[in-house]
Amino acid sequence: MTETPLTGRARADRTPHTLAEWQAVGGYEAVARALKLPPAEVLDRVDQANLNGRGGAGFPAAKKWKFMPEPGKSPGDGPSYLVVNGDEMEPGAFKDRFLLEALPHQLVEGAIITAHATHATVAYVLIRDEYRTAIANVKRAIAEAEAAGLLGRDILGTGVSLTMKVKPSAGRYIVGEETALIESLEGKRAVPRKRPPFPAQSGLFGRPTTVNNVETISLVPHILDQGPQWFRALSRTEEGGTKLYAVSGRVHKPGLIEAPMGTTARELIERSGGVSGNGRLRCFQPGGGASGFLEEAELDIPLDFGHCARAGSMFGTGTMIVLDQTACPIGVLARHQRFYARESCGWCTPCRDGLPWVARILDALEEGTAKPSDLDVLRMTAAEAGPRGRTFCDLMGGAMSPLATALARFGDLFDAHLDGGCPIRRGIL
Amino acid sequence: MSLPDDLRTAILDAMDGFGGARPAMLESLRLIQQAEGWVSDDRLSQAAEVLGVSAAELENLATFYSMIFRRPVGETVILLCDGASCWLNGGDAVRDRLMERLGIGFGQTTADGKYTLINCACLGGCDKAPAAALGRDRRLVGPLDAAGVDALLEGRE
């Protein structure tokens, strides 16, 4: 279990534990321990553990938490909030679904400890509408914890209080962007906010708010249970802990793998039964739809936030999409861009109008109706609207990363598409 | 038809639980949809009245969030993933078979009112690609192929 602290207690069929069953395997011991410590001490341990947020950006969790003001130190009245982001929708990502469905009490524990460290007294768990089993399981876990005095007022007689609620969402990928998520919780269209102010200054209902991913929160109890040194030692790199990797696409046994942070793509693909299709790797995206393409030469880099960024990609959600030689990266890109175009909130013109344009060109390339000048449009868009480009949030910038890397790595393949459509589908390449 | 009492109560509870009318708006639409499959004009107006917001404000949310249905849907809603991982594993064949068997495209409902087909990515089922989510509990099914689609529609999984 210590090698897979996050998923080690899960059951194969994903049946969640009742509270009693969870406590029988050590559940809520971390809560009891953490609530006896001052918030700063809890934060310090997570800081020492080098826990990076698992939602995509990889921002250090403790650093985010440090921006949360102490009670009475923020202007105005009202509570501080913790928001758990369970709006998993990134192409290729299916890890949070597992944690929500199979290990809801672990999430509740993590939320209690995180809320304590960040002075939050109300926690929301936003879960996407399609994850109905997850919604039901987390709701049940919260009700059980409430009934046992593990949530609510004066938890375990420590004076710490936390109200926790599940809020089901209703579609739209952009809800997963943290400021859009806050807008959504307030009952508005999920359009991202300008930053600053950051959520820790002015978040949900204008109050200090921390937004963390499901996997990040689920790791927190283990840091309190076993200590920051142990947590760091789980990893092969500077970034602490294990990672719930996912592998999908052209592999024989797609699935989730909890492994040390810094595990290589080669190992993950091997553990997923190897490359399917013709058995020979063409390329892979290490962290979901918005991560840049990598190839054979990068199979042995340790997959974490730092190493993926240095390799010109992004670790993102750590959910890998694998392509063999008979799979076309331009086809994969076309599906991704259609998705991002559909999910744009529509606020910024480059995203609202640019993504459908990109998607149409990719479709035309597949069909064999694209012109050479279309490739110039793709190059221009990738260059002008890439990360930290000209839009309010990172949706378009993220969408441009796989496009930019595909143009750089597979230029010949783009050209080959100009002559009658996808050459891989037609069996020419 | 007036708003059933249980829905009115559920909306009022959502207002209590989520901090007022505005944060309960989306939940109100979800509650109506859960009970009736979709959100009709009448229900939208009635919910707005209970919430104390304008119907236009509620419509503003209903038209943004893609899983709020403002048209009637079939008894079984089929969400078919059109993401890359599903495509890499034969998603096009599943899509084609579903459309052929049902005689409808994405966003449409069969004439007998049994099925609505919607494309949706990513369903978080890439380990079961090509995947779909069906019915009220959005049960995840996969990996699908053409024969699997036939089995699913004929109730012999």
Q: Chain B interface, mutation test: which of A129, A184, A257, most B Cβ atoms within 10 Å?
A: A129
Q: What single-letter DSSP state applies at residue A393? A: S
The tokens for A73 are: 């130190």
DSSP letters for B44-104: HHHHHHHHTS-HHHHHHHHTTSTTS-SS---SEEEEE--SHHHHHTTHHHHHHHHHHHHT-
Of B80, B85, B84, the closest CA to residue B96 belongs to: B80
pLDDT given at position A135 = 98
Residue of B nearest to A170 (CA): B67
Query: Quick check: B22 and A182 in contact, CB under 8 A?
Result: no
Give per-residue pLDDT as tens, A40-66.
999 999 999 999 999 999 999 999 999
Average pLDDT, chain A: 96
Of B115, B30, B40, the closest CA to residue B80 belongs to: B115
Of A280, A215, A322, A340, the closest CA to residue B129 belongs to: A322
Residue B147's pLDDT band, with cuts at 50, 70 and 90, is: very high
- Return d(Cα B95, Cα A105) in angstroms, integer: 37
**ipTM here:** 0.97
Tell me how close the Cα of B86 comes to any Cα of chain A, in angstroms.
7
- Residues near A408 by Cβ (< 8 Å), separated by ≥ 6? none
* A91 with B122: Cβ contact below 8 A: yes
Query: Quick check: A214 and A181 in contact, CB under 8 A?
Result: no
* Cβ burial A298-332 (10 Å sphere, 16+ → b, else e): bbebbbbbebbeebebbbbbbbbbbbbbbbbbbbb
Report the DSSP beta bridge partners of residue A165.
A124
CB proximity A94 to B under 8 Å: yes
**CA geometry: angle B112, B116, B122, nearest 5 deg:** 165
Strands (E) in A341-390, as ranges, are none
Tell me how close the Cα of B16 comes to any Cα of chain A, in angstroms.
12
How far lies A152's CA from each of A82, A134, A146, A364, in Å? Answer: 14, 22, 6, 56
- Return d(Cα A104, Cα A89) in angstroms, integer: 19
Q: Chain B interface, mutation test: which of A128, A268, A282, A335, most B Cβ atoms within 10 Å?
A: A335
- Return d(Cα B68, Cα B26) in angstroms, integer: 9
Query: How many Cα atoms within 13 Å fall on the side-chain side of residue B81?
Result: 38
Query: Quick check: A317 and A93 in contact, CB under 8 A?
Result: yes
Query: Quick check: A127 and A165 in contact, CB under 8 A?
Result: no
pLDDT given at position A2 = 57
Across the interface, which of A91, A130, A254 has its CB nearest the CB of B133? A130
Share of chain A above pLDDT 70, in %: 99
DSSP letters for A291-332: SPPB-GGGTTSB-SHHHHHHTTS--TTSEEEEEETTS-HHHH
Mean pLDDT on B129-156: 95
Give per-residue pLDDT as tens, A93-148.
999 999 999 999 999 999 999 999 999 999 999 999 999 999 999 999 999 999 99
CB proximity A258 to B under 8 Å: no
Chain centroid to Cα B51, Å, comes to 23
Residue B128, SS3? helix
Report the DSSP beta bridge partners of residue A249.
A322
Task: Check whether A389 has a pLDDT greater than 90.
Answer: no
CB proximity A254 to B under 8 Å: yes
Give per-residue pLDDT as tens, A157-212.
999 999 999 999 999 999 999 999 999 999 999 999 998 999 999 999 999 999 99
Q: What single-letter DSSP state applies at residue A127? A: E
**Helix (H) and strand (E) counts in chain B:** 7, 5
For the stretch A297-302, contacts whose Cβ atoms lie closer than 8 Å and that sit 24 or more positions apart, written own/partner, are A298/A265, A299/A264, A299/A265, A299/A266, A299/A269, A300/A264, A300/A265, A300/A266, A301/A264, A301/A265, A302/A236, A302/A237, A302/A261, A302/A262, A302/A263, A302/A264
Task: Check whether A1 has a pLDDT greater than 50.
Answer: no
- Residues near B55 by Cβ (< 8 Å), separated by ≥ 6? B44, B45, B48
Give per-residue pLDDT as tens, A285-339.
999 999 999 999 999 999 999 999 999 999 999 999 999 999 999 999 999 999 9
Task: Check whether A69 has a pLDDT greater than 70.
Answer: yes
Query: Quick check: A26 and A225 in contact, CB under 8 A?
Result: yes
First and final C-alpha spacing in chain A: 46
At residue A229, what is the residue type? Q
Q: At what angle do helices A95-102 and A214-226 cross, to 10 degrees?
A: 60
Which helix (H) or strand (E) element contains residue A201? none
Give per-residue pLDDT as tens, B14-23.
999 999 999 9
Mean pLDDT on A223-230: 97
Q: At what angle do helices A329-343 and A395-409 cross, to 10 degrees?
A: 170
Name chain B contacts of A398, Cβ cutoff 8 Å.
none
- Residues near A380 by Cβ (< 8 Å), separated by ≥ 6? none
Q: What single-letter DSSP state applies at residue A18? A: P
Mean pLDDT on A273-286: 98
Q: What single-letter DSSP state applies at residue B115? A: E
Which helix (H) or strand (E) element contains residue A212? strand A209-213
Task: Check whether B1 has a pLDDT greater than 90.
Answer: no
Task: Look at strands A122-127 and A163-168 and give their pairing.
Answer: parallel
pTM more than 0.95: yes
Across the interface, which of A130, A165, A319 has its CB nearest the CB of B79? A130
- Return d(Cα B91, Cα B130) in angstroms, integer: 5
CB proximity A249 to B under 8 Å: yes
Residue A160, SS3? coil
pLDDT given at position A388 = 67
Tell me how close the Cα of A64 comes to any Cα of chain B, in angstroms.
25
Query: Quick check: A386 and A407 in contact, CB under 8 A?
Result: no
How far lies A296's CA from each of A206, A301, A378, A385, B89, in Å? Answer: 48, 10, 25, 28, 21
Of A367, A370, A264, A278, the closest CA to residue A320 belongs to: A264
